[in-house]
């Protein structure tokens, strides 16, 4: 009988704890319906008594949870009360060794349903996507509304217009100035290459527009391009003169070798006649054998020199042919190189122009043009019984765990395009001038995509 007050007190304490758990979980459902557990929810499980157990258990992909001493239980689709009842009913049949008595015998204890505590510890997150400042997943809290979760992620993207863009404006001005410089240099390269391809004439660099460039700097760039064109043409002329000089020298040497070869051929014939005459005298016994041998050695030496001369003639003829081919290819190679450089410079012009257009759009946005409030629509995508449904909702709509909130900013009514004041008309600050050979090199700048609305961050989930 002495245990009854303790049991009554214990039941009272457990009842208070269970009531507190119900209060925490109750606000999740909408329209008075109890919230049904889903995959990804985390359950707080604990057992009170001589076997203290406390676990945080997440519902697995198969919709079940694993309970210590109880095994696996289906959880997805059940209310927390139904799951608690199912777990308590199974655990009440479980006994466990609680220790030993004074005689050393094992003492077994049972789990009372009142000692099983099961509550929702953590809900699935709520996902926010669309036209918001920072699309992300946010922890769920009971009573969380659409307006609250959108505020947590930074609000709709239109709120960026309230930021201080003074540094952005300065950065845009510097970037636009650099882009105008790259555009002007690319245009100068196009004019130079077209003039070089057309012939010996000079390019009309004064007609190349110098938007956003100081006149003194523009004239400096034009001077560098003229010097570059003159240097390239002078280099080609020097190469052509060197080739012609080499050809003339090779032709002169070739003439000398051919004359030498003719002389050796005449000498060879003389030795042949001498050998015949000495052989006749030797047959008559009128000359010694040494004279014949000397004539034969002379003929062999002349033949060797003749072969060397023929080899040298062949080599010089090949050299002359190669030099003449290089002379012919000099202009063709220069034309091919100019055409390739013209293609690169033309692409640089297009890229720079597109880049400037994008920078002007950014400057318009940063300066505050087009920041009028837009209509905001909210859509909630919710999975129920394995089926996802998407519906429009109010800002005050209460969310459930796992909901996807999609924020859409509607296009404002069309208005006349404002006059854009480019920030590039200010004096550009250029720290150094490029070397002539580097004027044709323009960095690849991606053209911004055309858009009629305020750019927004790419949503993490759509």
Which residues have C-beta within 8 Å of that of residue 307, sequence separation ≥ 6? Answer: none
Mean pLDDT, residues 258-277: 90
Query: Is a pLDDT exceeding 70 seen at residue 453?
Result: no
pLDDT at 286: 85
pLDDT at 365: 64
pTM over 0.85: no
pLDDT at 241: 93
Same fold, 36-122 and 173-367: no
Instruction: Share the mean pLDDT of the chain.
Output: 77
Query: Is a pLDDT exceeding 90 seen at residue 248?
Result: yes
CATH of domain 173-367: 1.10.287
Query: Is a pLDDT exceeding 70 seen at residue 50?
Result: no
Contact (CB, 8 A) for 45 and 117: yes
Mean pLDDT, residues 157-165: 52
Mean pLDDT, residues 433-444: 40
Where does the pLDDT of residue 122 fall: very low under 50, low under 70, confident under 90, or very high at 90 and above? confident
Condensed to tens digits (0 to 9), the pLDDT of residues 3-12 reads 333 333 343 3
Condensed to tens digits (0 to 9), the pLDDT of residues 188-200 reads 999 999 998 998 8
pLDDT at 158: 55
Query: Is a pLDDT exceeding 80 seen at residue 369?
Result: no
pLDDT at 441: 41
**Residue 198 structure tokens:** 């057309």
* Every domain of the chain and the residues it spans: 36-122, 128-156+374-410, 173-367
197-219 in b/e form (b: 16+ CB < 10 A) is eeeeeebebeebebebbeeebbe
CA pair distance 154, 376, nearest whole angstrom: 14
Contact (CB, 8 A) for 139 and 402: no
Mean pLDDT, residues 164-169: 56
Share of the chain above pLDDT 90, in %: 27
Q: Under CATH, what is the fold of the domain 36-122?
A: wza like fold (3.30.1950)
CA pair distance 374, 363, nearest whole angstrom: 20
CA dist list (Å): 81 to 25, 116, 117, 133, 209:
10, 12, 11, 39, 78
Query: Is a pLDDT exceeding 80 seen at residue 371?
Result: no
CA pair distance 278, 297, nearest whole angstrom: 13
pLDDT at 431: 36
Mean pLDDT, residues 36-54: 82
Mean pLDDT, residues 288-313: 90
Query: Is a pLDDT exceeding 50 seen at residue 350?
Result: yes
Q: Which of 39-53, 112-126, 165-179, 222-236 is predicted least confidently?
A: 165-179
Q: Which of 97-101, 148-152, 253-257 is predicted least confidently?
A: 97-101
């Amino acid at each position: 009988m002495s245990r009854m007050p303790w049991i009554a007190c214990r039941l009272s304490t457990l009842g208070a704890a269970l009531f507190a758990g119900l209060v925490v979980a109750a606000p999740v459902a909408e329209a008075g319906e109890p919230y049904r557990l889903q995959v990804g929810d985390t359950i707080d499980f604990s057992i009170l008594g001589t076997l203290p157990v406390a676990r945080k258990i997440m519902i697995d992909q198969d919709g079940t949870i694993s309970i210590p001493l109880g095994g696996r239980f289906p959880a997805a689709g059940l209310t927390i009360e139904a799951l608690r009842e199912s777990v308590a009913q199974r655990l009440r049949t479980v006994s466990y060794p609680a220790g030993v008595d004074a005689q050393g015998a094992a003492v077994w204890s049972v789990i009372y349903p009142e000692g099983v505590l099961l509550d929702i510890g953590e809900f699935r997150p709520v996902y926010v996507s669309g036209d918001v400042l920072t699309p992300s997943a946010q922890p769920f809290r009971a009573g969380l509304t659409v307006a609250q979760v959108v505020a947590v992620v930074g609000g709709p993207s239109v709120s960026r217009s309230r930021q201080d863009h003074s540094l952005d404006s300065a950065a845009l001005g510097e970037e636009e100035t650099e882009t105008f410089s790259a555009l002007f240099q690319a245009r100068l390269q196009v004019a130079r290459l077209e003039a070089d391809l057309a012939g010996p004439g000079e390019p009309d660099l004064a007609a190349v527009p110098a938007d956003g460039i100081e006149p003194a700097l523009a004239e400096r760039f034009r001077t560098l391009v003229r010097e570059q064109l003159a240097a390239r043409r002078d280099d080609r002329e020097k190469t052509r003169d060197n080739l012609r000089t080499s050809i003339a020298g090779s032709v002169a040497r070739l003439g000398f070798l051919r004359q030498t070869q003719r002389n050796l051929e005449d000498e060879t014939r003389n030795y042949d006649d001498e050998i015949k005459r000495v052989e006749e005298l030797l047959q008559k016994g009128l000359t010694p054998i040494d004279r014949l041998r000397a004539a034969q050695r002379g003929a062999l030496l002349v033949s060797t020199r003749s072969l060397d001369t023929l080899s040298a003639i062949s080599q010089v003829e090949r050299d002359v042919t190669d030099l003449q081919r290089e002379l012919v290819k000099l202009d063709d190679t220069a034309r091919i190189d100019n055409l390739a450089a013209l293609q690169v410079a033309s692409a640089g012009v297009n890229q720079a122009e597109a880049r400037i257009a994008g920078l002007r759009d950014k400057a318009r946005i940063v300066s505050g043009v087009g920041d009028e409030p837009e209509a905001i629509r909210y859509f909630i995508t919710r999975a129920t019984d394995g089926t996802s449904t998407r519906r429009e909702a109010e800002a005050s709509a209460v969310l459930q765990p796992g909901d996807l909130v999609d924020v859409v900013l509607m296009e404002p009514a069309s208005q006349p395009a404002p006059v854009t004041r480019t920030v590039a008309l200010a004096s550009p600050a250029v720290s150094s001038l490029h070397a002539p050979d580097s004027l044709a090199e323009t960095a690849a700048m991606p053209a911004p995509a055309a858009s009629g609305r305020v750019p927004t961050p790419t949503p993490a989930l759509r």
